Chains A and B, each alone.
Chain A
Amino acid sequence: MFSGLLEDIRLYKHLIGIQIRAQAQYKVDLALGILTMLLFTCLEFMAVLLFFTQFPRLGDWSVGDVALLAAIMALGAGIAEVIGAGVDTFDKTIRLGEFDRLLLRPVGAFMQVLGSDFRLRRLGRFIEGVIVFVVALRFLPGLHWTLAKVIILPIGIVSGAFVFIAILLLGATLCFWTVETTELTNLLYDGGREMLNYPIIIYNDALKRVFLFVVPLAFGSYVPTCYILGRPLPFGLPAELAFVAPLVALAFALVSGFVWNFGVKHYQSTGS
Chain B
Amino acid sequence: MSLIIRVEGLNKTFRVARRRKGLLGGLRSVVDPEVRVVHAVQDLSLNVERGEMIGLVGPNGAGKSTTIKMLTGILMPTSGEVQVAGLVPIRQRRELASRIGVVFGQRTQLWWDLPLIDSLLLLRHLYRVPETRHRDNLARLRSLLDLDEFIDTPVRQLSLGQRMRGDLAAALLHDPELLYLDEPTIGLDVVAKARIREFLLSINAQLGTTILLTTHDMDDVETLCPRMLIIDHGRKLYDGTVANIRERFGGERTLIAVLDPVELDLLPRDAHGLPILADLPTGVRLAQADGPRLWLSFGRDTMPAHELVSWLGARYRLRDVTFQEPEIEDIIRRIYEEGLLLQEVRG
Q: Among B66, B73, B100, point to the contact of A271 (Cβ < 8 A).
A: B66
B20 at the interface (CB under 8 A from A): no
- Whether A100 touches B69, Cβ cut-off 8 Å, given contacts A18-B118, A22-B114, A269-B76, is yes
Complex CA–CA separation, A172 to B122 (angstroms): 25
Query: What's the minimum C-beta distance from A35 to chain B, rounded to whole angstroms?
Result: 22
Complex CA–CA separation, A206 to B72 (angstroms): 47
Chain B residues whose CB sits within 8 angstroms of the CB of A270 once the complex forms = 14
Chain B residues whose CB sits within 8 angstroms of the CB of A14 once the complex forms = 122, 125
B75 at the interface (CB under 8 A from A): yes
| Nearest-neighbor residue (CB-CB) of B99 within chain A | A106
Contact, CB under 8 Å: B125 / A100: no
Contact, CB under 8 Å: A100 / B114: no
Contact, CB under 8 Å: A106 / B125: no
Chain B residues whose CB sits within 8 angstroms of the CB of A18 once the complex forms = 111, 114, 118, 122
Contact, CB under 8 Å: A11 / B69: no
B36 at the interface (CB under 8 A from A): no
Chain A residues whose CB sits within 8 angstroms of the CB of B72 once the complex forms = 103-104
A59 at the interface (CB under 8 A from B): no
A97 at the interface (CB under 8 A from B): yes
- Whether A11 touches B114, Cβ cut-off 8 Å, given contacts A104-B97, A107-B94, A268-B75, is no
Chain A residues whose CB sits within 8 angstroms of the CB of B73 once the complex forms = 103
A190 at the interface (CB under 8 A from B): no
Contact, CB under 8 Å: B113 / A105: no
The digit string for A248-272, where 1 denotes a CB below 8 A from any CB of B, is: 0000000000000000010011110
Query: What's the minimum C-beta distance from A267 to chain B, rounded to whole angstroms?
Result: 9
Chain A residues whose CB sits within 8 angstroms of the CB of B97 once the complex forms = 103-107
Query: What's the minimum C-beta distance from A219 to chain B, rounded to whole angstroms?
Result: 33
Complex CA–CA separation, A107 to B127 (angstroms): 8
Complex CA–CA separation, A103 to B111 (angstroms): 16
Chain A residues whose CB sits within 8 angstroms of the CB of B113 once the complex forms = 22
Chain A residues whose CB sits within 8 angstroms of the CB of B46 once the complex forms = none
Complex CA–CA separation, A49 to B146 (angstroms): 63
- Whether A271 touches B69, Cβ cut-off 8 Å, given contacts A105-B97, A105-B127, is yes
How many positions in chain B have a CB within 8 Å of any CB in the partner chain? 28
| Nearest-neighbor residue (CB-CB) of B40 within chain A | A271
B3 at the interface (CB under 8 A from A): no
Q: Which residues of B in the span 14-41 have a Cβ within 8 Å of any Cβ on A?
A: 14
Contact, CB under 8 Å: B125 / A10: yes
Q: Among B69, B76, B95, B122, point to the contact of A106 (Cβ < 8 A).
A: B95
Complex CA–CA separation, A103 to B90 (angstroms): 10
Query: What's the minimum C-beta distance from A15 to chain B, rounded to whole angstroms?
Result: 7
- Whether A271 touches B75, Cβ cut-off 8 Å, given contacts A22-B114, A105-B127, is yes
Query: What's the minimum C-beta distance from B230 to chain A, rounded to whole angstroms?
Result: 22
- Whether A268 touches B122, Cβ cut-off 8 Å, given contacts A105-B127, A106-B128, is no
Chain B residues whose CB sits within 8 angstroms of the CB of A269 once the complex forms = 75-76
Complex CA–CA separation, A266 to B256 (angstroms): 58
Query: What's the minimum C-beta distance from B326 to chain A, rounded to whole angstroms?
Result: 36
The digit string for A114-138, where 1 denotes a CB below 8 A from any CB of B, is: 0000000000000000000000000
- Whether A15 touches B122, Cβ cut-off 8 Å, given contacts A105-B127, A106-B94, is yes
The digit string for B90-114, where 1 denotes a CB below 8 A from any CB of A, is: 1001110110101010010101011
Query: What's the minimum C-beta distance from B319 to chain A, rounded to whole angstroms?
Result: 56
Q: Which residues of B in the span 257-271 have a Cβ within 8 Å of any Cβ on A?
A: none
Contact, CB under 8 Å: A7 / B69: no
B74 at the interface (CB under 8 A from A): yes
A230 at the interface (CB under 8 A from B): no
| Nearest-neighbor residue (CB-CB) of B104 within chain A | A101
Complex CA–CA separation, A104 to B71 (angstroms): 11
| Nearest-neighbor residue (CB-CB) of A269 within chain B | B76
| Nearest-neighbor residue (CB-CB) of B16 within chain A | A270
Q: Among A97, A98, A105, A268, point to the contact of B126 (Cβ < 8 A).
A: A105
Query: What's the minimum C-beta distance from B172 to chain A, rounded to whole angstroms?
Result: 14
Contact, CB under 8 Å: B126 / A101: no
Contact, CB under 8 Å: B102 / A104: yes
Chain B residues whose CB sits within 8 angstroms of the CB of A232 once the complex forms = none
The digit string for B121-137, where 1 denotes a CB below 8 A from any CB of A, is: 01001111000000000
The digit string for A1-25, where 1 denotes a CB below 8 A from any CB of B, is: 0000001001100110010001000
Contact, CB under 8 Å: A106 / B98: yes
Complex CA–CA separation, A13 to B74 (angstroms): 26
Q: Could you list 30 A-B pairs, sorted by A, with CB under 8 Å? A: A10-B125, A11-B125, A11-B126, A14-B122, A15-B122, A18-B111, A18-B118, A22-B113, A22-B114, A97-B107, A100-B74, A103-B73, A103-B97, A104-B72, A104-B74, A104-B100, A104-B102, A105-B126, A106-B94, A106-B95, A106-B126, A106-B127, A106-B128, A107-B126, A265-B76, A269-B75, A269-B76, A271-B14, A271-B66, A271-B75
- 9 smallest CB-CB distances across A and B, nearest first, come from A106-B98, A106-B97, A269-B76, A14-B125, A106-B94, A268-B76, A103-B74, A104-B102, A11-B125
